[in-house]
Chains A and B, each alone.
Chain A
Amino acid sequence: MRILLVEDDAMLADGIRAGLKLANYAVDWVRDGDAARLALLDHAYQACVLDLGLPRRGGLSVLEELRGRGSQLPVLILTARDTSADKIAGLDAGADDYLTKPFDLPELQARLRALLRRAGGAAVPTLTHAGVVLDPASKRVTHNGQPVTLSAREYTLLHDLLRHKTHIRSRGQLEESLYAWGEETGSNTVEVYIHNLRRKLGADFIRTIRGLGYQLRDSA
């Protein structure tokens, strides 16, 4: 799950990044509005945490441009501006949520979960497929009622596949979701994690579509 963090204060960005990593997100961080614009054009993010008072280009302008392109990306505004007028302007400009600084880290994590859940078209907090249940809030996975222990990367990969049950996910897409900038590692790591997931959840849980990528097996 890859998230863009737009925050001009380095110390605060460091904290938010650490906090989001704890929830198994891959976080890309940019410090100004122009860089945010470019990052949003170049990469497929699952969500964006956006500050408003940014150098070079304000957060609202970034948001309006994003929505102007027709992007559905879930955006959470995280700012020190706390007046009603600011919140209204932010939400009306296309933000999905609005949180003011100082904020509660668990609350930020929960709000992001809710945004991602709704962006996936679901209102139920857990993701279920063929006996496998993933709870994003507790980060717990069960298979036919039995708890399954997964590493952070395995969990992220499973989460991505469950969010796109009917889609075929390419290796590139899965990598984008797994790694933030500067974290890209060996070329066959996705295969390693898929192998581990098959070992823990059953060999036929994930199908390989040759030349295209991976897909969950039919739930029938």
Chain B
Amino acid sequence: MPTNLPGRHLQSLRWRLLRTVGLAALLGLAVSTVLSYRQAQHEAEELMDGHLAQSARLLLALASDDPQQLADLATRLQTLDRVGSSPYDPPLEFQIGRSDGSVLLRSPHAPSASLSGKTGYTASEHDGGPWRLLTLASTTGGYRVQIGQSIKLRDRAALEVARQAVLPNALISPLLLLLIYFSVRRGLKPLDDLASDVASRSPENLEALPGHGVPREVQPLLSALNRLLLRLREALNKERRFTADAAHELRTPLAVIKVQAQVAQLSSDAADRQHALRQILAGSDRATRVVEQLLRLARLDPLAGLPEPSDVDLGELAQQVFSEVWPTVATHAIQLQSDASPLLVRGDAELLQIVVRNLLDNALRHTPPGSTITVCTRREHGDLLLAVADDGPGVPPADLPRLVERFYRGHETLAEGSGLGLAISQRIAELHDASLEFANLAGGGFEARLRWRESAPAAHDFHSARRPIE
């Protein structure tokens, strides 16, 4: 189970549902219980009043002046009294008398209220508590009957009735809560299933989550998750491919270093050993270059834009790289052709120099000695171009679209490079909103161009603001 985070219950949908639905149900049950209780109590009181009136009428019917009959009645009531005592049958106390107030017969604990008062229900104090009295007068004779009940006992009976009426409610409430609990659990099960599916996954498993059985409300979340998983999968695959390629690319110089070191170790010839040692150094340089380029690419990759762009004149940039490179090249002729007017772009001069150097490097490696390489800047239909052209054999058309792929080397080529130079140049071009193009030239040779389109939205404002009047 997941760890218990503080406040986890506050965020849990299940807990919230359980709490609100449970509380609402309990509140409803409580209100209904109170109402039923009151109603039951009221009905019980009315019932007992009816009981009181019935008894009073019966006694009134039995009332007479005959002492013998009255004594007989008293005896009979005495013997019948308290047969089968129950809370619903509180003892009755009574007085039978005449309308002038004289008493003919009274029960032993009857309240001694006057019989000559007004008829109907009255309240009175007797025996240390309130009583409810009913006084009836006969319509024919002058008889009166007063019958009384202790309010305390009446209340006890009424309470008992009400209690019995609401008892089922009390019993139902835990059952109701249990039912709510299971319904909520069942309702949220698809979410739980989804959660446990995600939780049980290994980091390698980035397959889409299954959509069946998922409620409509969760579908958008699921789609979003699956889109994220897809992007992650792609990113991870790209990363893996890159790592594999990088490892492969480092392997060759490492193999060189190792085999030459062993040659140096095993060889007894001094000249052979010197040669092997020189090759070891060259191999380390090569490995270093691959690592540097990998690092450069790794640093450029996550950038969303240039950190500190400034105005760069392409002509000046080309001039700078050209003057650095040409003294070091003995095998090729290198020339510079620049547009007379400044070609200003917004960018990072250092990164753009890397591009020019990479393109020059490629031209040097892929053309036979004696070839001419031209670095040039020019304007073409409003586009700004920085290009490196050569008069070498060109690139097979099938290879053209794959040139910027990382670690891709032409099918025919024997030249050695990290295979990363053009991938880096491509990334730098992207950061500058420029495009990197390659083409075989009609008259033979090959040209790589960095092009800033006039219509490019990011560069447009800048160009229209900065371009000198033509």
Q: Which positions in A face B, CB cutoff 8 Å?
A: 8-12, 14-16, 18-19, 22, 31-32, 55-56, 80-81, 101-106
Contact = CB atoms under 8 A, between A and B. Distances in A.
A12 B248 contact: no
Nearest to B283: A11
B1 to A, nearest CB: 40
A55 B412 contact: yes
The 8 A-B residue pairs whose C-beta atoms are closest, nearest first, are A15-B259, A105-B262, A102-B255, A101-B255, A80-B251, A18-B263, A15-B260, A102-B258
B275 interface: yes
11 contacts: A9-B416, A12-B255, A12-B256, A15-B263, A15-B279, A19-B266, A55-B413, A80-B255, A102-B251, A102-B257, A106-B266
Nearest to B411: A55
Contacts of A11: 252-253, 256, 279, 282-283, 286, 416
A11 B416 CA distance: 9
Nearest to B252: A9
Contact of B262 (A55, A80, A101, A106): A106
Given A11-B282, A15-B256, A101-B251, 15 more contacts: A11-B253, A11-B279, A15-B263, A18-B276, A19-B263, A19-B266, A31-B414, A101-B252, A101-B255, A102-B255, A102-B258, A103-B258, A105-B259, A106-B262, A106-B266
Nearest to B257: A102
A103 B260 CA distance: 11
A11 B415 CA distance: 11
Contacts of A10: 414, 416
B267 A22 contact: yes
Contacts of B461: none
Contacts of B253: 11
Contact of A104 (B262, B286, B411): B262
Interface in B150-174: none
A9 to B, nearest CB: 5
Interface of B: 248, 251-260, 262-263, 266-267, 272, 275-276, 279, 282-283, 286, 410-414, 416
Most A CB contacts (10 A, CB to CB) among B259, B276, B286, B410 go to B259
B414 A55 contact: yes
B252 A80 contact: yes
Contact of A103 (B248, B255, B279): B255
A19 B262 contact: yes
Contacts of A106: 262, 266
Contact of A105 (B266, B272, B275, B411): B266
B267 A18 contact: yes
Contacts of B266: 19, 22, 105-106
Nearest to B251: A80
Contacts of B251: 80, 101-102
Most B CB contacts (10 A, CB to CB) among A8, A56, A80, A103 go to A80
Contacts of A105: 258-259, 262-263, 266
Nearest to A18: B263
A102 B253 CA distance: 9
A104 B259 CA distance: 7
Contacts, number: 78
Contacts of B416: 9-11
Nearest to B280: A15
Contacts of A102: 251, 254-255, 257-259
B414 A14 contact: no
B283 A22 contact: no
Contacts of A32: 414
A32 B415 CA distance: 12
Contacts of A81: 248
B290 to A, nearest CB: 13
B167 to A, nearest CB: 76
Contacts of B413: 55
B240 to A, nearest CB: 13
Nearest to A9: B252
A18 B253 CA distance: 16
Contacts of A14: 260, 279
Nearest to B259: A15
A18 B414 contact: no
A100 B57 CA distance: 119
B10 to A, nearest CB: 51
A77 to B, nearest CB: 14
Most B CB contacts (10 A, CB to CB) among A16, A22, A103 go to A22
B259 A8 contact: no
A56 B283 CA distance: 25
Nearest to A8: B414
A89 B276 CA distance: 33
B153 to A, nearest CB: 97
B272 A104 contact: no
Most B CB contacts (10 A, CB to CB) among A31, A81, A105 go to A105
A16 B248 CA distance: 18
Given A11-B282, A11-B286, A15-B279, A103 B252 contact: no
B250 to A, nearest CB: 9
B348 to A, nearest CB: 34
Given A101-B251, A101-B252, A105-B263, A15 B276 contact: yes
Contacts of A15: 255-256, 259-260, 263, 276, 279
B396 to A, nearest CB: 11
Given A11-B282, A101-B251, A105-B266, A56 B412 contact: yes
A55 B252 CA distance: 16
A60 to B, nearest CB: 15
A5 to B, nearest CB: 12
Contacts of A103: 255, 258-259
Contacts of A18: 259-260, 263, 267, 272, 275-276
Contacts of B279: 11, 14-15
Contacts of A104: 258, 262
Most B CB contacts (10 A, CB to CB) among A15, A56, A106 go to A15
Given A56-B412, A103-B258, A12 B263 contact: no
Nearest to A11: B256
Nearest to B275: A18
B282 to A, nearest CB: 6
